[in-house]
């Protein structure tokens, strides 16, 4: 028996301001820090020893994981992977979601946020929010840095990393991943074999650990630890 625990970072400053964030490196809001602490306490109550920790390159995921590890009193060094980053929202990056609903219409914004293979317009490379202008991404090969992404694009990079680095480990180890709404949705699509229609409906709550239990390399249980904020995974 082994566990894979997926945690979307706590509420970020731009979550609070209802902005499209993507690859911009914003930190946790105060409520996000509280969500991360609650996540840490819920995981501690499981009494499961975590063997490997993973997070994205982004501060909100790193700091969520740092808070959780502090509560678990576990100082293992996590592996940070840009492939676990949030989806890149292209030219929508930094814009307010409510304002864009007024400008483009609610249906169009929902399409950009939830469709499987629709990409927003690319973000100008001179924009300060472009990953090429953000220091933490300086060592990523430039050909791998996107100007915009669909959920399908996000799925492909997340799955490439998961299959290469995590899939074999989770057979015999307990693993915790601190990542983002869309990178976790990508993992859920793969793990639970969700079709393109179902994945478009899946919401991932901030700071609520999703615990997936494996027996003989097969999922036999899946649950959110904070039941009051649990969302239907459409499969269990």
88 is catalytic: no
Of 35, 86, 130, 149, catalytic:
86
Least confident of 26-35, 78-87, 108-117, 124-133: 108-117
Least confident of 6-15, 99-108, 130-139: 99-108
For residues 29-49, average pLDDT: 97
Of 9, 88, 130, 180, catalytic:
9
Q: Helix 151-161 and helix 181-191: axis angle, to 10°?
A: 70
For residue 39, the model assigns a pLDDT of: 98
Band of residue 233 on the pLDDT scale cut at 50, 70, 90: low
Main-chain phi, psi angles of 42, to 5 degrees: -65, -40
The whole-angstrom separation of Cα 33 and Cα 50 is 21
For residues 108-122, average pLDDT: 83
Band of residue 236 on the pLDDT scale cut at 50, 70, 90: very low
Which tens digits make up the pLDDT trace of 146-200?
999 999 999 999 999 999 999 999 999 999 999 999 999 999 999 999 998 888 7
Domains detected in the chain: 2-88+149-229 (3.40.50.1240)
86 is catalytic: yes
The mean of the pLDDT values for the chain is: 93
The answer for residues whose C-beta is within 8 angstroms of residue 187's C-beta and 6 or more apart is 6, 158, 159, 162, 177, 179
The answer for residues whose C-beta is within 8 angstroms of residue 95's C-beta and 6 or more apart is 19, 20
Model pTM score:
0.94
Share of the chain above pLDDT 70, in %: 97
Of the candidates 84, 86, 85, 66, which has an alpha carbon nearest to the alpha carbon of residue 76?
A: 66
Which tens digits make up the pLDDT trace of 47-68?
999 999 999 999 999 999 999 9
């Amino acid at each position: 028996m082994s566990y894979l625990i997926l945690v979307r970072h706590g509420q970020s400053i731009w979550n609070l301001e209802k902005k499209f964030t993507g690859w911009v490196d914003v930190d946790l809001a105060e409520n996000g820090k509280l969500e991360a602490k609650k996540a840490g306490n819920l995981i501690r109550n499981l009494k499961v020893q975590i063997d490997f920790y993973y997070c994205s390159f982004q501060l909100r995921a790193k700091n969520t994981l740092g808070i959780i590890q502090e509560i678990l009193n576990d100082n293992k060094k996590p592996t940070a992977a840009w492939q676990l980053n949030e989806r890149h929202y292209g030219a929508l990056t930094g814009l307010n979601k409510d304002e864009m609903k007024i400008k483009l219409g609610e249906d169009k914004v929902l399409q950009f946020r939830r469709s499987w293979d629709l990409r927003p317009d690319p973000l100008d490379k001179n924009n300060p929010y472009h990953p090429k202008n953000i220091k933490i991404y300086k060592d990523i090969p430039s050909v791998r840095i996107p100007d915009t992404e669909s959920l399908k694009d996000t799925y492909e990079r997340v799955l490439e990393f998961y299959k290469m680095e995590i899939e074999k480990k989770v057979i015999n180890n307990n693993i915790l991943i601190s990542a983002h709404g869309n990178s976790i949705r990508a993992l859920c699509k793969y793990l639970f074999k969700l079709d393109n229609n179902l994945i478009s409906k899946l919401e991932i709550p901030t700071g609520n650990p999703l615990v997936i239990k494996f027996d003989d390399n097969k999922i036999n249980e899946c649950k959110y630890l904070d039941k009051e904020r649990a969302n239907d995974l459409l499969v269990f």
